[in-house]
Structure 1
Amino acid sequence: MSESIIPGEIGTASDSPLIQGRNARVYDKPRESCPYPEGSEERKVWLSAYDAETGGDAEPKRTEFVDAEGRQRF
């Protein structure tokens, strides 16, 4: 017996706790903003990604460029 796939139930990479935790760090959200409950596997993954090394830099690297109007973008 196969289970049917319901539209909207398949997640994307950005839905993963790993990506969410990394993004929270990159975008300067507080560590306490983790949305997962204490003791959950998702919380462990989110916090691990949040606390991950940034390659030796004090701040995470952000891509900067100047748009067509000369404004600095990240």
Structure 2
Amino acid sequence: MSMFLLTSALGSAIGIALSPTAEDPKLVWMYTGLSVATAVAGALFWVCFRGLNGREEGLNALEGVGEKEERLEEE
């Protein structure tokens, strides 16, 4: 719950910081800045986690390994 409230507080702080730019001639720059920040965050996310897609099958195969060994020991 604390993490949810922290992200909510950060979102509110960003909203307060951006509210002075929410005027007619400045709206284009506000939305341009938000879209650039979103694109940068998306690119960083992809760079950090791009290798996990290739390892997914191997990680999924690990789920049943311990169960098979336990069954063999019981028999």
Normalising by the smaller structure, the TM-score range is: under 0.3
Q: Which structure shows the higher strand fraction?
A: 1
Higher relative contact order (CA closer than 8 Å, sequence separation 6+): 1
Larger radius of gyration: 2
